[in-house]
């Protein structure tokens, strides 16, 4: 999820800057014209979509970081010996069971 967010932000921010630059040039140079069938509405759409992607990307990155933190907490619980964490299916397992009840993966230790 973090990588998806990073990708969206990396794509969204340059797209927004690109569109904003073109809109600025169009605005400040009255003789500037768009080529290649692009209209001002297309550029505005790119700016809005780029900005949305950047914002969603940042939100995904924040969520990704939070999820990673939770994973670290659950890892530290498993390392304390109270619970073990199945690396195969991400389930908390009672270490006295010896194996994961979900996927039958053998527990270490």
Binding site for Zn ion (CB under 5 A): 86, 88-89, 91, 100, 102-103, 105
Q: Is 62 or 89 the residue whose CB approaches Zn ion more closely? A: 89
Q: Which of 71, 74, 52, 63 is nearest to 3 (CA)?
A: 63
Q: Which candidate, 15, 9, 8, 25, places its Cα nearest to that of 45?
A: 15
| Min dist. Cβ of residue 79 to Zn ion (A) | 17
Q: Give the helix/strand (H/E) hosting 91.
A: none
The nearest distance, CB 88 to Zn ion, in angstroms, is 4
| Between 10 and 89, CB nearer to Zn ion | 89
Q: Which is nearer to Zn ion, 42 or 91 (CB)?
A: 91
What is the dihedral sign for C-alpha 8, 9, 15, 20?
positive
Minimum CB distance to Zn ion, residue 82 (Å) = 17
């Amino acid at each position: 999820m973090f990588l998806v967010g990073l990708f969206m932000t990396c794509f969204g921010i340059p797209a927004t800057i690109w569109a904003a630059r073109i809109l600025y040039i169009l605005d400040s140079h009255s003789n500037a014209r768009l080529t290649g069938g692009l209209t001002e509405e297309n550029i505005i759409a790119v700016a809005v979509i780029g900005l949305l992607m950047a914002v969603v990307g940042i939100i995904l990155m924040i969520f990704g970081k939070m999820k990673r933190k939770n994973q670290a907490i659950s890892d530290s619980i498993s390392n304390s010996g109270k619970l073990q964490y199945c690396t195969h299916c991400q389930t908390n397992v009672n270490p006295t069971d010896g194996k994961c009840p979900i996927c039958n993966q053998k527990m270490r230790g």
